[in-house]
Each structure stands twice: as structure tokens, then as C-alpha cells.
Amino acid sequence: DQQVKQNSPSLSVQEGRISILNCDYTNSMFDYFLWYKKYPAEGPTFLISISSIKDKNEDGRFTVFLNKSAKHLSLHIVPSQPGDSAVYFCAASARLNYGGSQGNLIFGKGTKLSVKP
């Protein structure tokens, strides 16, 4: 049972345009959501996060939007650059104990973003 879903395995975008990566979750107990970026042969690196009390968080070219009623979040990258080409993982956590996760990060399967020059 996947609690965090990234339904698009891949996304291709032209340099300078907007990249939108989507993520859905099923567990209403999640109260923090994070995006990680992963280059080949490297570990995932933290990109941006959002608390469930907010609906938007912005950091430079990266903005994360949260729609709690739809249990959906998205990561917008504007403008997209070739160096943004990587796999992006959506992750969620619940501060309160929930089943076996106990506050640990639950990851989606990732979306591979390719930004073409």
C-alpha cells in the first residue's frame, strides 16, 4: 500500500520553461512534506519542505504547493535549467506515531526530470 505516490515516472521540459512535479498521498496524518533531488551515483539531497499548516512555500526557483483537501502537492521549478535534470522524490512524515512509521519519512517512487537545452 503506497502512502506517497508519484504517478509520473518521467517528465521532459524545455530549458527556461516551468517544470511541475506532482505527488499524491493517502495518509491524512502526514503533516510535513519534503522534496528531495537525486543525481546519479549520489544520495538524495533535501530541496524544499512544507508544513501542513501552509499551502505554499517558496525558495528561489522552487515552490511547493500543498492542497490538503485533495491530498496533493506539487513542486514547481521556474525557470527550469539543464542542471535541474535529476530524479525528484516526494516524501512525507507524521510527527505523531502512525503505525510503524513513527515519524519517519515515507518516499514516493520518484519522477525523473529531464531539462533539454
Partner 1 sequence: DSGVTQTPKHLITATGQRVTLRCSPRSGDLSVYWYQQSLDQGLQFLIQYYNGEERAKGNILERFSAQQFPDLHSELNLSSLELGDSALYFCASSISRTGSAYGYTFGSGTRLTVV
Residue among 27 and 49 whose Cβ is closer to partner 1:
49
Sheet holding 4-5, edge to edge: 4-5, 19-25, 72-77, 62-67, 56-59
DSSP state, 37? Answer: E
Contacting residues toward partner 1, per CB under 8 A: 4, 6, 9, 32, 34, 36, 41-46, 49, 51, 89, 91, 93, 95, 100-110
Least Å distance, CB 43 to partner 1, is 3
Residue among 15 and 71 whose Cβ is closer to partner 1:
71
Least Å distance, CB 37 to partner 1, is 11
Residue among 63 and 93 whose Cβ is closer to partner 1:
93
Bridge partners for 48 per DSSP:
35
Pairwise CA distance, residues 38 & 85, whole Å:
9
Least Å distance, CB 8 to partner 1, is 13
Is the Cβ–Cβ distance between 85 and 60 less than 8 Å?
no
